[in-house]
Amino acid sequence: MEIWADSADKTYISTLVKLGLPQGITTNPLSIIKEMPSPQLGNSLKELATFNIPLAVQVTAPAADLIITQSERLAALHPNIIIKIPVTIEGLVAINHLKNRIPTMATAIYTLPQLILAINGGVKYANCYVSGILLKNNNDNSELRLMAEIAAKNNVMLIGGGVEHISHIMPAVAAGLPALTLNPSIMDKFVKPHPFTTEWNNKLLDAWEESPHKEDPLFKV
């Protein structure tokens, strides 16, 4: 399973890279407002794209023609950029117009029909909102499972976003989603070692410190 980072903070992404993460980055207007204070957003996005992994940048225009204009500008910044477009009627029109020219990610997907519409429009990526889907289905992950199956059959990368609670990761994994994108709050909980791991590791290290073996040239540091 791929783990993407839902953040526009380059410094934060750099810390994840040391852990072998993420496999991609998603941003949205709120994360850009919060984490990219520079008025030169083009330069900031170019810097974020230098991690050499997919970078999804969401449009902010409401109408299809304006979405298309924004998409062309954003895509021109760097080849790693994917254009995130909400699955509104106007968004679907834009997705269909951009297919085969600019890679797009349909976002704000809460239902199976929305995913099907996005796939038929020609998206390469789709971002379904995990917690919202589980909430409206009383924690049943059947719809997520169907989404994963249909996306896979159509060669669309389905990414579970909108994860608002760490407990929602398990039903998303069980549904077969190939990727999740996690905001910093959830990501920090995801990578944090379990207390049992920390306790057991400390026991081993303490025992080693009390042993003469620690002086062996092979292990001495």
Three-state SS at 82: strand
Q: Which residues pair with 85 in a beta bridge?
A: 106
Q: What is the mean pLDDT of the chain?
A: 97
pLDDT digits (tens, 9 = 90+) for 71-104: 999 999 999 999 999 999 999 999 999 999 999 9
Over residues 153-164, the pLDDT tens digits come to 999 999 999 999
Classify residue 77 as exposed, middle or buried by CB count within 10 Å of its CB (0-12, 13-18, 19+). Answer: middle
pLDDT at 37: 76
Q: Pick the closest to residue 182 from 161, 202, 153 (CA basis).
A: 161
Is the CATH number of domain 2-188 3.20.20.70?
yes
All structural domains of the chain with their residue ranges:
2-188
- 30: amino acid identity, one letter: L
Q: Which two three-digit tokens encode residue 218?
A: 């092979």
Using alpha carbons only, what angle is made at residue 166 by residues 163 and 170, rounded to the nearest 5 degrees? 90
Task: Give the side-chain half-sphere CA count within 13 A for 105.
Answer: 29
pLDDT at 4: 98
pLDDT digits (tens, 9 = 90+) for 20-65: 999 999 999 999 999 997 778 999 999 999 999 999 999 999 999 9
pTM attached to this predicted model: 0.94
Q: Which amino acid is at 73?
A: R
